[in-house]
Amino acid sequence: MNKIMKLTLVLGLIGAISGGTLAGVYKFTAPVIKAQDAKELQAGLSEVFPGNYEFKKLEIKLKSPDPAIQIGDVYTVKSGKNVIGAILKVSSPGDQAPIVMLVGINKDGRISGVKILQSLETPGLGANASNPHYYVNKAKKITFLDQFKNKKVTDPFVPKKDVIAITGATITSTAVSKGVKIAGEVAYSYFKKGGGS
Amino acid sequence: MKKYLKIIWNGISPSNPVLILAIGLCSVIAVTNSVKNALLMSFAFSFVLIASEIIISALRKAIPNEIRVPIFVVVIATFTTIAALLARAYFSSIYEAIKLYILLVVVNCIIIGRAEAFAYKNPVIDSLFDGIGMSIGYSWVILAIAAVRELFGNGTIAGLQVFPSAYKPALVMILPPAGFLVIGVLVGWLETTLKKKEAKK
């Protein structure tokens, strides 16, 4: 009995010291991490909606017509007082894990830009989706994501038809195209119903 | 002093954790597809290994034999979490790419193995040098593997273009199988060198 008490005490004490240390480190790094996240989000938003606009997070949930594709945070893009577009965070099932991306949509139903936030695609193949030096059109230096710019949400978004696929990565190409299309459609119908104004 | 140098050298070559002891290979394969990933992993690994060895060695008389493994795990987990928080705060883009493997340092057999086999039985200073030696041994191997794999698999080293852009990368090099290939070649090379040395003696 005595022995068990002693063992418990020692382990408990070490656990407590460890917990205390971690609490201290967490307190010290938490503000840095938070600032970093905010900075990255801001940079991501301005990347999919280039220009000097104001982004505002909306406290609404938009429903995706496709159960496999999920829509997360919704931001409106404002130029002065006018809402000129929206940015949606969507997650689309990729090759190994969901591809999480930001999709910017103009109010007139054109895609303004796409950025991949998280993905676990095969290096050298599917991972080229977010590679800034992998061009689907070498002559014009258009990357895989660039080709979605100014595309109408009513387009089919089918790789090898109106989307140039990444060589050897059909699953990734389709996943990204589908995600962008759904985000575009959802945002467009939201605007048409008078949302965001 | 000679004794400490010997401890360090032991980790670098004769008992190299990756090439000779051949433990903790899973994360080695995973993080060596680029030099940047390998570099951040080396820092995280060295920090956790050295800090854990020091603490465990300092506490070795107070740690009851029956519960030594849970205590090792608590100590290692604490330092791993610290390393992960720091990496997340200051190297967030690389951290995103390899976070899983940094968190898995907790169960990395090299660290728990050194805690059990060395730190628990030796004084603090010796353990410090063992930690340094093993860290150098681990880091040089994963950086070497990463350099080879990134060079042939992507034409770059640490993101800098080395081969002309006309070079068509050998994809297999950045996929997991090449990790085993490169490790195999390195193991063969080190084993033969060590054997030759012994034969000379």
Map out the domains of chain A as residue ranges: 54-192
Residue B78 confidence (pLDDT): 96
B64/A contact by beta carbon, under 8 A:
yes
- How far apart, in whole angstroms, are the C-alpha atoms of residue B8 and residue B15? 10
Mutation for A interface: B32, B67, B79, most A CBs within 10 A: B67
Burial class for B33, CB neighbours closer than 10 Å (0-12, 13-18, 19+): buried
Average pLDDT over residues A9-23: 95
pLDDT at B106: 87
Among A6, A18, A29, beta carbon nearest to B85 = A29
Q: Which residues of B touch A124 (CB under 8 A)?
A: 153-154, 169, 171, 174-175
| Each residue's pLDDT tens digit, B114-149 | 999 999 999 999 999 999 999 999 999 999 999 999
Distance between CA atoms of A77 and A55, rounded to whole angstroms?
5
Token look-up 């990357």 returns A143
Please answer whether residues A69 and A191 qualify as being in contact, where contact means their C-beta atoms are separated by less than 8 angstroms.
no
Which residue(s) pair with A116 in the sheet?
A: A101
Report pLDDT for A193: 84
User: Which residues of B, range 142-171, sit inside 8 Å of A by Cβ?
Assistant: 153-154, 169, 171
pTM: 0.79
Tell whether B169 is covered by a domain.
Answer: no
**Domain encompassing residue B92:** 2-143
Contact A152, A59 (CB under 8 A): no
Q: Which residue of A lies nearest to B70 if distances are taken between CA atoms? A: A11
Please enumerate in sequence order all residues whose Cβ is within 8 A of that of A136, keeping only pairs 6 or more positions apart, or say none.
A142, A143, A144, A147, A164, A165, A166
Q: What pLDDT, on the 0 to 100 scale, is given for residue B176?
A: 85
User: Considering its fold, how many domains does chain B have in total?
Assistant: 1
Asked if residue B188 is part of any domain, the answer here is: no
Q: What is the ipTM of this complex?
A: 0.79
- List CB contacts (< 8 A) between B88 and chain A: 29, 33
Q: Let me know if residue B99 belongs to a domain.
A: yes
Nearest CA to CA, how far is B95 from chain A (Å)?
12
Residues with Cβ within 8 Å of B22's Cβ and at least 6 positions away in sequence, in order, are B187
Distance to chain B for A154, nearest Cα, Å = 34
What are the tens digits of pLDDT across the range B18-40? Answer: 998 888 888 899 889 889 889 98
Question: What span, in angstroms and rounded, lies between the C-alpha atoms of B42 and B83?
Answer: 11
Please give the C-alpha separations between residue A188 and each of A45, A184, B99, B177, in angstroms, as whole numbers.
18, 6, 36, 45
In a domain? residue B34: yes
**B111: nearest Cα among B58, B32, B14, B45:** B45
The sign of the dihedral angle between the CA atoms of B173, B176, B178, B179 is positive
